[in-house]
Structure 1
Amino acid sequence: MIEQLLTHGRTGSGNGRDPVRLGAFFAAYALNSVRIVNDATLYEAAGLDRRTSRSYTRLLTDLGVIAELPAWSSNRLKRLARGPKRYIADTGLWGAAVGADVELVMSDGDLLGRMIDTFVANQLRAEAVVDPTRPRLHHLRDRDGRHEVDVIADLGARGLIAIEIKADSAPKPADARHLAWLRDELGQQFKAGALLHTGPARYHLSDRIEAIPICSLWS
């Protein structure tokens, strides 16, 4: 896969194939996967200009290698971050790109969290396409970084469902504090909150917020 991407990479200026620069851009993207970073962070890390970076982003998006969750916005909430949350669209590809094998991921909480976030977000993206409600997926983060919700499934006039993803087998109500904050801010527009976790049990956390095993996505 990576070799094919590099072989077919082209610069934004149309000067022909440049697998080295495309590889550098992909590596920068992978290192920032599951993060909210601006375009400049990516193209400067890869040693590219903005035009070439945009060209490579279009290429990798068209190939289904990367994906973005746009920022959610609301007239009821102020000072929200506007940048997209970026993802490598496959956990195996992400692991290979950042050099993270199973042993390393299982020994590093940050890498484990990012891998699980990547896996679940991509699963939700795939299911949203065939869901009859046609939810529009976003992420939410305020500019101060005090509140962040991994995925917002916007159902339009029917409200929204907020989703947090945790590498935890038995999350507690405190782990759902961002969901509770959003519920309290939005009132009835907030239909439900789900804290997706790695454990086996589903249970109630607070009003309209449930802890739900990640494996429930397939049941």
Structure 2
Amino acid sequence: MSGGRCIELLEDKLLIRTLRPWSGNVGKRLVKSPKVYIRDSGLTHALLNLTSLDDLLGHPVVGASWEGFVIENLLSCLPIGTTPWFYRTSAGAEIDLVLEQGSTQRYAVEIKRSLAPSLSKGFYMGCEDIGATKRFLVYPGSERYPIANEVTVIPLIDMMKELASRN
């Protein structure tokens, strides 16, 4: 069985999610390969034999696990007609999740597993490239607050409510 067919089978069984790259006409060299996430972070942790929170926090997978968990939860709240993407250029501009609704709404969502999150220059460049109408940084904290360049730092549950209210 080819690698592509294995990916399709795992997608069909709802074990993984493939996020396609955003490909608007920005005149930049874009990454074209999809990002693949294991949909159940508990399954990831079990496969890695991570049996405690300390095991998880000390493992290199912790950031990717958090990112996949956040993406799964956010996508479960999307309004009808919203398309999820990610954005990355060969020059380093990157956005973890782009949510596009029609041609007028484009959310840029960065995901960080830090209680004191910060954004890279690549996120801001990506926001300009795609014409983001709203910018968010989802983190595991409990406070919502603004930071530079019209970005809102937001807890996961608040971001889910923000998306659900668009239905």
Q: SS at 1:157's partner residue?
A: coil
Aligned residues: 160
**Residue in structure 2 matched with residue 179 of structure 1 by the alignment:** 123
Match of 2:82 among 135, 148, 153: 135
Percent identity for Structure 1 against Structure 2: 24
- Conserved 8 A contact 2:20-2:86: yes
Q: SS at 1:164's partner residue?
A: strand
In 2 relative to 1, CA 183–59 (structure 1 residues): closer, same or farther, beyond 3 Å? Answer: closer
Q: SS at 1:79's partner residue?
A: coil
Whole-angstrom CA distance in 2 between matches of 1:121 and 1:170? 20
Output the TM-score relative to the length of structure 1: 0.66
Whole-angstrom CA distance in 2 between matches of 1:82 and 1:164? 19
**Residue in structure 1 matched with residue 155 of structure 2 by the alignment:** 213
Whole-angstrom CA distance in 2 between matches of 1:193 and 1:60? 31
Whole-angstrom CA distance in 2 between matches of 1:218 and 1:72? 21
The worse-fitting range, judged by mean Cα deviation, of 204-213 and 98-107 is: 98-107
Alignment pair present for 1:114 and 2:64: yes
Shift of 1:176: 5.1
Structure 2 unaligned residues grouped into runs of 5+: 162-167
**Residue in structure 1 matched with residue 102 of structure 2 by the alignment:** 156
The worse-fitting range, judged by mean Cα deviation, of 80-89 and 55-64 is: 55-64
Whole-angstrom CA distance in 2 between matches of 1:126 and 1:198? 18
Taking only aligned residues, the RMSD between alpha carbons, in angstroms, comes to 1.9
Output the TM-score relative to the length of structure 2: 0.85
- Higher-RCO chain (CA-CA 8 Å, sequence separation at least 6): 2
In 2 relative to 1, CA 183–164 (structure 1 residues): closer, same or farther, beyond 3 Å? Answer: same
In 2 relative to 1, CA 218–124 (structure 1 residues): closer, same or farther, beyond 3 Å? Answer: closer
Alignment pair present for 1:81 and 2:28: no
- Conserved 8 A contact 1:69-1:84: yes
Whichever structure has more strand as a proportion of its residues is 2
Structure 1 unaligned residues grouped into runs of 5+: 1-11, 13-49
